[in-house]
A = this chain, B = another copy of it.
Amino acid sequence: MKTYLDCYPCLMRQALSAARRAGASDNQQHSILLKTMEELSAFPTGSNPAQLAYRIHQQVQQLTNNLDPYRDDKDQATQQALALYPELKKKVSQAADPLDMAVRIAIAGNIIDLGVADSYDLEATLARVLTQAFAINDLASLRNALAQSMSVLYLADNAGETVFDRVLIETLDIPVNYVVKAGPIINDATREDAVAAGIEPVANIIDNGSNAPGTLLDQCSELFRKRFAQADLILAKGQANYESLSNSSAPIFFLLQAKCNVIARDLGVAEGGTILKQQVVD
């Protein structure tokens, strides 16, 4: 997905939010905004938003000398999600269609995103996503793909959301490689966050060799790129994975909430929509 002009003010807001979480002084915050504007002005048009977000959040890490400004937020999100885990499992076990319910749960967890907004209401989102109609619903195709695949390459998004992913993974009948970031960026899940969410017993945790948001293949390790190329089924969680892979020809299903109007417009849905979208390959 291309970067829309609306992404510019949003990335400025993100830079400021990240700077504050990193404990930056007022002067540092100002410097970071100036640097962010330099980056936004110089970045090649045609870049995707995940590439821009990567550069801007990296800059905050470097200028504040804080490599993980979202550490506390990530831990809290995981704890909050773990507290909901028994209830989520019960919903799946009682559902007429456990896969439908588990997919909805995994998408509901995508609200735990501190890039798009500075806060979220997890329980209200859960109630909404479990009941509202999908804006894009390729569940039948996903069910079919799952039946025909040997394994799933599951591209994780945020810490805490990992617990919701675990519920979906536990519902699947085939093995899962669960892909996290190789280092901290925004509140994206790393190995540590996946382990804390209890993913280890239910999936093989691997990292993609990069700490960019989404999946910027040119930033990933050769090993990961090979796995990506060989995967017969990829589940990609969240906006940044959509932003970075929407032009890919890989066998991807995108699971996300359309949390901002830019993504919603790109997908042709209303803001707040629940998306299970199969990648259209020409």
* CB within 8 Å of B: which A17-53 residues: 26, 29-30, 33-34, 37-38, 40-41, 45
Q: Does A224 contact B (CB under 8 A)?
A: no
Whether a CB of chain B sits under 8 angstroms from the CB of A10 is: yes
Q: Is A5 an interface residue (CB 8 A)?
A: yes
Residue of B9, B16, B33, B37 touching A16 (CB-CB under 8 A): B9
Supposing A12-B9, A12-B12, A16-B9 touch, asked if A37 and B30 sit within 8 A by C-beta, the answer is no
Question: CB-CB < 8 A to A9: which residues of B?
Answer: 9-10, 12-13, 16
Q: Which of B5, B10, B30, B45 contacts A5 (CB 8 A)?
A: B30
Give Cα A13 to B10, complex, Å. 8
A6 adjacent to chain B (CB < 8 Å): yes
Q: Does A54 contact B (CB under 8 A)?
A: no
Tell me whether B37 and A41 are in contact (CB under 8 A): yes
Q: Which residues of B contact A12 (CB under 8 A)?
A: 8-9, 12
Interface centre among A8, A10, A34 (most CB of B within 10 A): A8
- Determine if A16 and B10 form an interchain contact, defined as CB atoms under 8 angstroms apart: no
- Interface of A, secondary structure class, is helix
A38 → B minimal CB distance (Å): 8
Which size class do A's interface residues fall under? 10 to 19
Q: Return the contact of A45 from the options B16, B30, B37 (Cβ within 8 A).
A: B30
Q: A8 to chain B: which residues have CB within 8 Å?
A: 12, 16, 33, 37
When distances are taken between beta carbons in the complex, the residues of chain B under 8 Å from A5 are 16, 26, 29-30, 33
B-chain residues with CB within 8 Å of residue A16 when the two chains form the complex: 5-6, 8-9
Shortest Cβ gap from A9 to chain B (Å):
4
Give the CA-CA distance A16 to B34 in the complex, in Å.
19
Cα A8 to Cα B36 in complex, Å, equals 11
Q: How far is the CA of A34 from the CA of B40 in the complex (A)?
A: 8
Q: In the bound complex, what is the Cα–Cα distance between A108 and B8 (angstroms)?
A: 31
**Complex Cα gap A64–B146 (Å):** 52
Select from chain B the residue with minimum beta-carbon distance to A11. Answer: B9
Contact of A40 among B6, B10, B13, B37 (CB under 8 A): B37
CA distance in complex: A8, B12 (Å): 7
- A41 partner residues in chain B, CB cutoff 8 A: 34, 37-38
Complex interface: chain B residues within 8 A of A29 (CB): 5
**In the bound complex, what is the Cα–Cα distance between A34 and B43 (angstroms)?**
11
Q: A5-B26, A9-B9, A9-B13 are in contact. List 19 more A-B contacts (CB 8 A).
A: A5-B16, A5-B29, A5-B30, A5-B33, A6-B13, A8-B12, A8-B16, A8-B33, A8-B37, A9-B10, A9-B12, A9-B16, A12-B12, A33-B40, A34-B41, A37-B37, A37-B40, A37-B41, A38-B41
